[in-house]
Amino acid sequence: MNLNGIKIGEIINLINNRHYNRIKSMIPSCPGIYKVFIREEDRNTIKFGEAKTINGLEFRPPRLKKGKINTKTVESVEVLEEKFKTIKDNILYIGKSDNLYVRIKKFLRMALGSQGHDGGINIFAVQNYMEYLYITWYPLSLNKEYSTAKDWEYDEIQKFKNEHNDKRPLANLSD
């Protein structure tokens, strides 16, 4: 699977400036999977620290149904650094959605202090994520092997685990 993508920072800036039509012209409103990754040439520049938003707001974990706060939080810097060194892969997160546009927008709005996405929380502990992280997406309609985005994401994570001693991508939390 080819990893041509767009800088996360470009989409976050579009969201921050409310350029939703431009984002809609880029990201399809259909089922599929998406991946957050770094380019090989940037691998040695990645540093981890406190999860932070671009505008200084406190990082807020997503809400669950019925208003409960998600207990999933960002892992410690030491744990993330160790995982990053151990896994040695440029794919940091694999996600799924029944509507890529809605899900990716919700995911990246976390960088602006918004709640609402369950997954990929550790991405925001990457310092300078605006500059070094990329995102790409794959509509389900382009892959006739799967009937749902959930099945496709599951298989992509399983393939990743098979290649990396049963380890998941850095920002994918446990099953």
pLDDT tens digits, 129-140: 999 999 999 999
Does the residue 168 lie in any domain? Answer: no
166 vs 125: CA distance, rounded Å: 23
Phi/psi at 12 (5° precision): -60, -40
Q: Which of 47-61, 84-98, 132-146 has the lowest mean pLDDT?
A: 47-61
167 vs 137: CA distance, rounded Å: 22
CA Rg, the chain, in Å? Answer: 15
DSSP β-ladder status, 91-97 and 6-7: unpaired
Report the pLDDT value the prediction gives residue 132, as an integer from 0 to 100: 96
What dihedral do alpha carbons 91, 172, 31, 62 form, nearest 10°? -130
Q: Is the pLDDT at 55 greater than 70, yes or no?
A: yes
Report the pLDDT value the prediction gives residue 53, as an integer from 0 to 100: 86
Q: What number is the average pLDDT over the span 138-161?
A: 95
Report the pLDDT value the prediction gives residue 121, as an integer from 0 to 100: 81
Does the residue 174 lie in any domain? Answer: no
Does the residue 173 lie in any domain? Answer: no
**What is the total count of domains within the chain?**
1
Whether 72 and 173 have beta carbons less than 8 Å apart is answered as: yes
Does the residue 114 lie in any domain? Answer: yes
59 vs 26: CA distance, rounded Å: 27
Place of tokens 């620290």: 49
Report the amino acid identity of residue 143.
Answer: N
Report the pLDDT value the prediction gives residue 96, as an integer from 0 to 100: 95
Does the residue 170 lie in any domain? Answer: no
Report the pLDDT value the prediction gives residue 2, as an integer from 0 to 100: 56
Does the residue 47 lie in any domain? Answer: yes
Does the residue 73 lie in any domain? Answer: yes
Tokens, residue 160: 């990743």
pLDDT band (50, 70, 90) for residue 63: low
This prediction has a pTM of 0.89
Residue numbers of the domain that contains 23: 6-163
